[in-house]
Structure 1
Amino acid sequence: MEHLLKEQLGCTDVKPCEGASSGGISSGGAFLVDGKKVFVKQNSKPGSGVMLKGEFASLLEISETNTVRTPKPIKMFEDHGTAYLAVEFLEMSQLNKYAGELGRNMANLHLHNKNLRTQAQKDEGFVGRRTEFVDKFGFHTATCCGIIPMKNDWNQNWVEFLAQRRIKYQLDLVEQNYSDVKARELWPKVLQNIPKCFPKEFEIVPALLHGDLWGGNAAELSNEPCIFDPSAFYGHSEYDLAISHMFGGFPPAYFKAYHELIPKQPGFDNRQKLYQLFHYLNHWNHFGGGYRSSSISLMQQIAKMN
């Protein structure tokens, strides 16, 4: 590994050091690279190159907003069937005293693109001034929620993007892997009710999302909170909150601070069911039938919405 890092990172001195870890998807370790600590994630599974390329792009896009701390990406590369991602090493501990600050930072991340739109509108009529904002849903490259690549093709319509490129995509994988009769029966009713969760007067400005912000992908440093392992794309800000309520969730201070900047809108709870459905289906496809019951239950609730 030391020789490979010297070659890829263009450095002269590489030494392994404390900070090795192993997650549910990838493994990784820490290295001193010319005196600076770097974390290197690696994965040899099929499709791992797509996954780590998407994570590199996600970290870069989020870090450039200057709203929430992430490990700064250094380089993604592949060698002999294994994909590697080198990022800044951060000394992390469990999120605790900075939960409220993380809530504010995430709200500012979600508002960043909307603020760019406001600035662009102000810049109209000024020669030479142009503010770039994203006016579509999706992302410029594939990102993976786990190991499964998401369909991020740009779309002007969030409801269509959610239905076809998130929920239906996962259901197609369920059909392929499990051929579940109940899921197949419920889908037409779910699809019919998805638009009901979005009032016509409801404006959704594309927001840059983490995409997989459960409690295991957030932490704190000595003086601020941070997020990592993103699966970024531009979508509805509420989408990022769905998994934050799952699998142990976040401290109440996180949500309190978040909603002070982005208040809940009518229909919030029903939309959370849609967004959580994606994550339960994704877990079903990753980890098996233990997530079937939660997925089917949510599909039944959505199918009964008036």
Structure 2
Amino acid sequence: MVSQIGLTSPALSPLCCFPSRARRRRFSLLKRKSFAMASLSEDPVREWMLSGGKATQITKIRPVGGGCINLASRYDTDVGPFFVKTNRSIGPSMFEGEALGLNAMYETNTIKVPKPYKVGSFPTGGSYIIMEFIEFGLSRDQSKLGRKLGEMHKAGKSETGFGFDVENTIGSTPQINTWTADWIEFYGEHRLGYQLKLALDQYRDTTVYEKGQRLVKSMRPLFENIVIEPCLLHGDLWSGNISADKNGEPVILDPACYYGHNEAEFGMSWCAGFGGSFYNSYFEVMPKQPGFEKRRDLYKLYHYLNHYNLFGSGYRSSAMSIIDDYLRILKA
């Protein structure tokens, strides 16, 4: 579902699909052929690298591990490598949202993210994003990741409320980020409510929709006696979007950023592998608030619903179980 930057790594989830070796070979040959034939005006990626990127020559183009949505490539130049994602089917809005999220995280000067350089369109259709290439290492320190993530949440705050300046995507699902003053309203309408409506429209799943709406209307007691600040969230923090550079510094990538309750960042923890050292370090920076454990599954629900809408009925039972548990607890 996502692309990797740097060293190609094995799939970390059955939902992460990588191009086959044959497909990568065909793609590589095609890229070399088109690169040799294209003029600057026909290839805006090459044009930027030889102007804004300060390169004088591009020495090699090769595919790297990617996801189902975009093609990912490493461009080697005489000023160093660049990472490029392309999609020949869609306009630049998805990549613009990604770039704004990456830049927002980058500007907190906390956890390492690839710096975005350029987003644009191809003359023949489709779009691209050019960003910093980060060489991955093998060491992954969960304690350091927890601390750095907490520092990003602490530093990245919004005075506007909960939301983001643009709509973006979670996987390939639109993510609505309309600025909202109240977090419970935002999460209920633009996160759970939106996914519930998708399930109704796509599968005619009236049971999930109606029970989910009951939960949305009754979930406010789960947030009593806590302070909720709009923190900058990565938004899609699972194992495939987490790595480390050659020096062991944590790196996060492929965001679905918005400003929200910091606990919502752990909604993908069911496939992120966060352990005790991660949470201990995180809560040293962002102290745990009362009822954290009671809200944890509520934030997982958004992502289970999204996986249900993207990948089918295999995720329905997990979403339904969470909804039923909360309806029983809340007596709704």
TM-score, length of structure 2 as denominator length: 0.81
Q: Does 1:264 align with 2:308?
A: no
* Structure 2 residue aligned with 1:44: 88
Query: Once the two structures are superposed, what CA deviation does each residue of 1:114-134 show, in whole Å capped at 9, x if it has no partner?
Result: 5xxxxxxxxxxxxxxxxxx52
8 A contact 1:74–1:86 mirrored in 2:
yes
- For 1:72-91, what aligned pairs fall within 5 Å after superposition? 72-79=115-122, 80-91=124-135
SS class of match (2:155): helix
CA 1:23–1:222 in 2, change beyond 3 Å: closer, same or farther? same
How far apart, in 2, do the equivalents of 1:299 and 1:94 lie?
Answer: 38
- Structure 2, unpaired ranges of 5+: 1-30
8 A contact 1:113–1:208 mirrored in 2:
yes
How far apart, in 2, do the equivalents of 1:177 and 1:52 lie?
Answer: 26
- For 1:162-173, what aligned pairs fall within 5 Å after superposition? 162-173=187-198
The alpha carbon displacement at 1:18 in A equals: 5.1
* Structure 1 residue aligned with 2:326: 302
Query: Once the two structures are superposed, what CA deviation does each residue of 1:168-215 show, in whole Å capped at 9, x if it has no partner?
Result: 00111111110112112312321232211110x422111000000111
Q: Does 1:103 align with 2:127?
A: no
8 A contact 1:92–1:221 mirrored in 2:
yes
CA 1:168–1:54 in 2, change beyond 3 Å: closer, same or farther? same
Letter in structure 2 aligned against 1:92: F
Query: Once the two structures are superposed, what CA deviation does each residue of 1:65-96 show, in whole Å capped at 9, x if it has no partner?
Result: 10110011011111122221111111114552
8 A contact 1:113–1:134 mirrored in 2:
no
Q: Does 1:70 align with 2:113?
A: yes
CA 1:23–1:188 in 2, change beyond 3 Å: closer, same or farther? closer
How far apart, in 2, do the equivalents of 1:246 and 1:220 lie?
Answer: 20
Instruction: Give the number of aligned pairs.
Output: 284
Which structure 1 residue ranges, 4+ long, deviate > 3 Å from structure 2? none
Letter in structure 2 aligned against 1:102: L
SS class of match (2:246): coil
Q: Does 1:225 align with 2:276?
A: no
Query: Once the two structures are superposed, what CA deviation does each residue of 1:98-156 show, in whole Å capped at 9, x if it has no partner?
Result: 22111101001111145xxxxxxxxxxxxxxxxxx524100011121111121111111
8 A contact 1:95–1:225 mirrored in 2:
no
Letter in structure 2 aligned against 1:176: D
Query: Once the two structures are superposed, what CA deviation does each residue of 1:257-305 show, in whole Å capped at 9, x if it has no partner?
Result: 1112223211112221111110011111111111111111111112222
How far apart, in 1, do the equivalents of 2:112 and 2:156 lie?
Answer: 17
Query: Once the two structures are superposed, what CA deviation does each residue of 1:1-22 show, in whole Å capped at 9, x if it has no partner?
Result: 6452222342542233456222
Of residues 87, 91, 101 in structure 2, which corresponds to 1:58?
101
Q: Report the aligned-residue RMSD.
A: 1.8
